[in-house]
Structure 1
Amino acid sequence: MTEPFTALLFLSFGGPERAQDVMPFLENVTRGRGVPRERLDEVAEHYHHFGGASPINALNRDMIAALTPAMSGRGRDLPIYFGNRNWGPYVEDVVEQMYRDGHRRALVFTTSAWGGYSGCKQYHEDIGRAVAALSERIPAAADEPLLLRKLPQYWSQPAFLDAQADAVRRAVALLPDPQAGARLVFTAHSIPTRADQAVGAGLYGRQVADAAAAVARRLTADGIVDGDEPGRDFDQVWQSRSGPPQVPWLEPDILDHLAALAAGGARQVVVAPIGFVSDHLEVVWDLDNEAAERAAELDLGYVRADTVGTDPRFIDMVADLVDRYAEGGGDLQAPGCGDNGAGCRSGCCG
């Protein structure tokens, strides 16, 4: 009989929570990527605009607080450990603590819904690095090894898409003229075009496009999207590029797209950050500041939809995933699923 999993690792990107940590954090994130110092200084100012803290850790703790009773309601009283890739609490330290607490089999939920390198494979690498660090810190772990099983990608889960659709509905109701209609724009974090093609042959870009279309289909009955002409009433764009200017990234960029919409006669726009699980810095700065200011300059009515965050359907979706895999079941060939950093199935992110 397969042994059950006894803990859940909630694994995320990480972010600074004090002003003095901003630059060390950014150096962690960009190490080896050739990002100019002046670009780091520019991004650091975004964090200092919010007192030097990214909201991501607090938002992750909010999701964990919501997830705990949702799992308990399914009879899964698994302790939840919170770890990050780029800042404290670092995943290596958290996995060591988990092991010292007696856990030998843990599921891993990541705060990215997507495939591709940054969205999936890099989280496998984080898990593999933490397992390797554990064997160095606790040599006895070689005789009693730890199994960390990453839960699959969830971008196509109905609950995730339903929560996204309701966020758009709420945003439409907040428009200056809700009855006048608006252009719906889905946005996600851009990545280098070459990187998107290198892992899964454009997997990430395709998944974002498919998820945006799936949410749009849910909005046809509301008249937000025209079901007779799929794609006519919504767009899918990108944001938050940060690499060297000579490297092509996925386009169009949201700021350029807002200008194009205004030039084409649009008067109102709803921006849905489908690529993000919660309102971390790329959402609250790039969309709530830069994009909102650009829309005002263009005389565009502008509302940004919520991220799924602690929406009960999204939290229940996570709890359902945990429940499905907790006894050793679940589809081990599902995209994104893998053990101890070994990566996903062939043709996905590995």
Structure 2
Amino acid sequence: MRVDLFDFALPQDNIALRPAVPRDSAKLLNVSGDRLSDHIVSGLPQLLGPKDILVFNDTRVIPAQLQGTRGEAKIGATLHKRVDLRRWQAFIRNAKRLRVGETVDFGMDVLAEAEARLDDGSFILHFLGDEPVELLLERAGTMPLPPYIASKRAIDERDADDYQTMFAREKGAVAAPTAALHFTDELMAALAEAGVGREILTLHVGAGTFLPVKVDETDEHQMHSEWGRIDAATADRLNAARQAGGRVIAVGTTSLRLLESATGEDGIIRPFEGDTDIFITPGYKFRAIDGLMTNFHLPKSTLFMLVSALMGMETMQAVYTHAIAGGYRFYSYGDSSLLLPEG
């Protein structure tokens, strides 16, 4: 499909630079089939049934943005995906000034060798020394806010908390699973009282989620892979919930993509541990999920393609037109939507 089919005009005023306070006071656009209704995230329990299951991603964002030097050249690095205990794949700014075998000094006694350059232009960085890389990043790194926020304001101490979900446990993401940023202890208690269940999986979101689609046709786009895990007990409970008439609702496109990667054509969710580069576009047949809670995405992005696959392109164009006109806030710190295709 042509990528320009997924374009739309978004006023800059609709881009959120800070999250709602409290988190569950953000707007929520309920899309049930082709019917739209406006709500607040704290009202989510009234929109779900007592057998429904929300599936959250417990990945934790690490301070994966680094600024350093190689000689007199300034080098920026955004870590994308862990290779092993000391190596990370990274997207490099000013990459023309960095060659394989050279060392980048990120300050605070954090050094990394450019060990290899991959076909997509990214590098494998080998962090030197004996200290765990996690400690090096805590010392020298900053939160990797999306470009559409970082280009408009400086990263500050608030972001260290604002850009983590309440479920964040497993360190390894370089982008937050932002749909879950809206949840609070109070909201989770209200959902439990309403009989709505929850399950947890892990997908370490990579920096590739921010990369623009630069090709003209979706078939030509190469998705970056990300590591995820669903254990056997979680898969069994999700399958049982669906068999009992409940709906599996992914909280965020990260949860959705991992669930779909773990599910066969028979609709059975299976244990999964490994890389996935699933790319969902219109025409895809969903196997694992019955709904999606997600923020509002960039024009021509793979994530807008995904929601268009779930709800239909015409419906999603109408949804985004409604959201823009209604003052909904877009992107990582923005408002939310609940997409239920069989409304």
Q: TM-score by structure 1 length?
A: 0.26
Which structure has greater helix proportion? 1
Q: TM-score by structure 2 length?
A: 0.26
Which structure has greater strand proportion? 2
